Chain A
């Protein structure tokens, strides 16, 4: 079973090595003759206004929290979906309702956040 994970490991290794080697090579081989224009954020682009490192609005927090909560919901959907076919022969309606209750409770919260104006950007 462990051998099944080898492609994932190789993919990860390849990604890390590819990015790392490219960064290192350009750092070593690339000539560095910086000018003001070259060092600007977008070369030949829009002039940057202010500092990028300022405080972000708290509204991103709600977006991130919503993401995590529905992320966890999806995690719970997986084992349910895997065994659904097996259980559907005996108690299909029951486990369907079971998951609908699970999603329905979370949907209540989604409606609450929506009505509260959490999804609008005014």
Chain B
């Protein structure tokens, strides 16, 4: 009973993710595409939960759904001025996009095939511990201390870049 319900919910999330991703790339209205992307990102967060990556799932919702998507919508509102602008897809872009997608698919399939201990939906026995504590330990143990500090420098660069670009237009 538990097994079937779990599988059912998993395929629900998978279907939600794939279907909304298809809408993102096919719909002509850019705002509709952005909102559909929100559903995709939520679906991916659900899939992270099934992989027992709880920290990643929370981060997905906080950063991607809460932040990046708002930035995308702001970008649309700031550039086009016409929210009902239609998207044109040219043949060259279709080809390039297809090649990149195929390459990405091959990469992902290779990784999936080479993952030695892939967590199966049906094995209920092994429960992994919540990942947040583990991540905190790895950072503070000194193992990932330097990358952790470098992240703040990366964020600093992004912050300064954003301040510089958005103020320049006003000064001119």
Task: Write out, one digit per residue, whether chain B residues 53-87 have a CB within 8 A of any chain A CB (1) or not (0).
Answer: 01100110011001110110011011111111000
CB pair B162 A62 closer than 8 Å: yes
- Which residue in chain B gives the minimum CB-CB distance to A2? B6
CB pair B74 A78 closer than 8 Å: no
Query: Which residues of chain B in 38-52 are interfacial with respect to chain A, using CB atoms and an 8 Å cutoff?
Result: 49-50, 52
CB pair B74 A79 closer than 8 Å: no
Total interface residues on B, CB under 8 Å, equals 55
A65 smallest CB distance to B (angstroms): 4
* CA A113 to CA B74, docked complex, whole Å: 19
Q: Which residues of A contact B (CB under 8 A)?
A: 1-2, 5, 9, 53-62, 64-69, 71-76, 78-84, 86-87, 95, 98, 101-103, 105-106, 108-110, 112-113, 116-118
* CA A2 to CA B148, docked complex, whole Å: 29
CB pair B66 A71 closer than 8 Å: yes
CB pair A2 B159 closer than 8 Å: no
* CA A82 to CA B131, docked complex, whole Å: 11
| B159 touches which of A57, A58, A98, A109 (Cβ 8 Å) | A109
The secondary-structure label for the interface of chain B is helix
Which of B54, B74, B127 has the largest count of A CB atoms less than 10 A from its CB?
B74
| B166 touches which of A62, A80, A83, A105 (Cβ 8 Å) | A62
- Which residue in chain A gives the minimum CB-CB distance to B153? A105
* CA A5 to CA B63, docked complex, whole Å: 19
* CA A60 to CA B165, docked complex, whole Å: 12
Contact A5-B159, Cβ < 8 Å, known A68-B71, A79-B55, A98-B140: no
CB pair A116 B167 closer than 8 Å: yes
CB pair A65 B159 closer than 8 Å: yes
CB pair A69 B137 closer than 8 Å: no
Contact partners of B155 in chain A: CB under 8 A: 69, 72-73, 105-106, 109
* CA A79 to CA B148, docked complex, whole Å: 12
